[in-house]
Chains A and B, each alone.
Chain A
């Protein structure tokens, strides 16, 4: 289980990294925390010819806040997010969710940018970003753009990021003082990827927008219209019937029934928490 050969690049700043990416395109891979990429390379599920290690690029690290949002640099590690007072106050849902990500030794290396770029459907961080209407900041040698999270995930481990783009950070709106949330997931063992999870985040930014996300079910995390429609009302049984249909549409295999049972149970508990 050794990776195939590659050329190793360790740019010290973002322009150099972007130039390398522009030069090598699809033959290159960005190395962030390596907690997913190194296993994929060891199993030879991916064989980049050029590996661009962004770990020495300081401008990709750190957490900053303005009046309305918190911006987290792509290379910020889970552990740092967990220790951040800014996050605890402004985006507590993110910290709560990251406690479910893997284990301490892995959280010491894994990054929020890596998790978003990987877009694993069972991963907590992308699901939280979807629930909180985050915006992904991506840069290429040609310039920078902001991608609303609702159009960021394209499919199983596929995103809106272009081959020559580096995810530089994510902007998450601060929560309104009155905002509440519920995060529930079911994993077989502590630190495992979720079998399924449900996030309810009504009115996070103060505007009365209900956002509900299901993850670990299907190719990407997705917003549930059934749950979004039901939040803040008396819930009727047909909400869960509609939710089961959404799960069936997302899964399309023999696990659909199992996933639907978990999701409806988690959703019931999440609704009860917010009631």
Chain B
């Protein structure tokens, strides 16, 4: 087998600087999972529809399966692990647990990253707005109601108007 073209990527992942040589066709999702062992980012469809691979790139949520690791060179990436460590999604995680908003858990990292993005930009989202935000994320277990409940709970507990 002829050797495959590689490229050096340097980026920060959850605040830590990493530099690796990777094959140019490696997706950012695979890079996070296989090269860095950050398996919290899940890979469902690998073509942008399921949302399980959602991460933050320079502060904005994106599909990590639709980016090449090479494209993240110089960027700041945050994954569900980073958001967990910083405590940013602690209230969401608590609410997901309390409301049974996960069963198999496959969709959960993507849901949490997406919900955290909504809560950053919208103080008290309506249920309609919550549904709008997570319409980009598939869950094959819960039927979504519990997830909407959990996100609503996290939002309202945060603003203290309950």
Contacts of B7 in A (CB 8 A): 8
Q: What size tier do the contact residues of chain B reach?
A: 20 to 34
Bound CA–CA A4/B66 (angstroms):
14
Contacts of B5 in A (CB 8 A): 5, 7-8
Question: Which of A43, A79, A105, A191 lies in contact with B47, CB distance below 8 A?
Answer: A43
Is A109's CB under 8 angstroms from B25's CB? no
By secondary structure, the A interface counts as loop
13 CB contacts below 8 A, A to B, read A5-B4, A8-B25, A38-B65, A38-B68, A39-B66, A42-B46, A55-B71, A104-B114, A104-B133, A105-B61, A106-B63, A109-B67, A190-B135
Question: Which of B68, B133, B135 lies in contact with A8, CB distance below 8 A?
Answer: B68
Is A104's CB under 8 angstroms from B70's CB? no
Question: Which of A8, A53, A108, A189 lies in contact with B62, CB distance below 8 A?
Answer: A108
Is B25's CB under 8 angstroms from A105's CB? no
Let me know if B60 is at the binding interface, CB within 8 A: yes
Bound CA–CA A10/B7 (angstroms):
11
* 16 more CB-based (< 8 A) A-B contacts, given A42-B65, A104-B114: A3-B25, A8-B7, A35-B48, A38-B68, A42-B47, A43-B47, A51-B24, A79-B60, A102-B136, A103-B135, A103-B136, A104-B133, A105-B114, A105-B136, A106-B63, A190-B135
Bound CA–CA A7/B6 (angstroms):
9
Let me know if A34 is at the binding interface, CB within 8 A: yes
Contacts of B87 in A (CB 8 A): none
Let me know if B143 is at the binding interface, CB within 8 A: no
Bound CA–CA A6/B25 (angstroms):
7
Contacts of A51 in B (CB 8 A): 24
Let me know if B105 is at the binding interface, CB within 8 A: no
Question: Which of A5, A10, A42, A191 lies in contact with B136, CB distance below 8 A?
Answer: A191
Q: Which residues of B contact A (CB under 8 A)?
A: 4-5, 7, 24-25, 27, 45-48, 51, 54, 60-63, 65-68, 70-71, 114, 117, 131-133, 135-136
Bound CA–CA A43/B67 (angstroms):
15
Q: What size tier do the contact residues of chain A reach?
A: 20 to 34
Q: Which residues of A contact B (CB under 8 A)?
A: 1-8, 10, 34-35, 38-39, 42-43, 51, 53, 55, 79, 102-106, 108-109, 189-191
Contacts of B132 in A (CB 8 A): 190
Bound CA–CA A62/B113 (angstroms):
28
Contacts of A34 in B (CB 8 A): 66-68, 71
Bound CA–CA A191/B134 (angstroms):
11
Question: Which of A4, A8, A79, A190 lies in contact with B70, CB distance below 8 A?
Answer: A8
Closest beta carbon of chain A to B39's beta carbon, Å: 18
Contacts of A1 in B (CB 8 A): 45-47
Question: Which of B46, B63, B131 lies in contact with A105, CB distance below 8 A?
Answer: B63
Bound CA–CA A219/B15 (angstroms):
47
Is B24's CB under 8 angstroms from A38's CB? no
Contacts of A5 in B (CB 8 A): 4-5, 25
Given known contacts A1-B47, A6-B24, A8-B7, A105 and B62 CB-to-CB distance under 8 angstroms: yes
Bound CA–CA A6/B117 (angstroms):
34
Closest beta carbon of chain A to B69's beta carbon, Å: 10
Nearest residue in B to A2 (C-beta to C-beta)? B25
Nearest residue in A to B117 (C-beta to C-beta)? A104
Scoring B47, B48, B61, B68 by chain A CB atoms within 10 A of each residue's CB, the highest score goes to: B48
